[in-house]
Amino acid sequence: EAQVTQNPRYLITVTGKKLTVTCSQNMNHEYMSWYRQDPGLGLRQIYYSMNVEVTDKGDVPEGYKVSRKEKRNFPLILESPSPNQTSLYFCASSQLGELFFGEGSRLTVL
């Protein structure tokens, strides 16, 4: 089954404790992206990757890092999380402009 898988689905952490949200897709898509969803703001792009070893900033990249060492994986790294990064995060991969989303990761930073 074609899918995008994110982990963890839910996480509560404290300010400053580094965390990684993993994302993996099995559709051989070159393009992958991370979004955050906040009430009243819709989805905003954090980072995206056109292919292996190629990443670029989206609209709200501050406080995040990504890497793309393999085509299927695109982890999102929060080196020092802060409460304003409490949000619902979605990973997506794309073919011909159509995005396929993961189920989402709800992150709470205390």
| Binding positions for another protein, rule: CB under 8 A | 31, 33, 35, 40-45, 48, 50, 58, 90, 94, 96-104
CB 92 → another protein: shortest distance, Å?
8
Q: What are the Cα distances from residue 87, in Å, to 95, 108, 110?
A: 26, 7, 12
Q: Which is nearer to another protein, 35 or 109 (CB)?
A: 35
What sign does the CA torsion over 12, 71, 30, 65 have? Answer: positive
Q: Which is nearer to another protein, 19 or 99 (CB)?
A: 99
Structural tokens at position 59: 């609209």
CB 18 → another protein: shortest distance, Å?
25
Q: What are the beta bridge partners of residue 54?
A: 51
Residues 92 and 102: beta-carbon distance below 8 Å: yes
CB 38 → another protein: shortest distance, Å?
10
Helix (H, G, I), strand (E, B) or coil at 91: strand
Q: Which is nearer to another protein, 10 or 82 (CB)?
A: 10
CB 99 → another protein: shortest distance, Å?
6
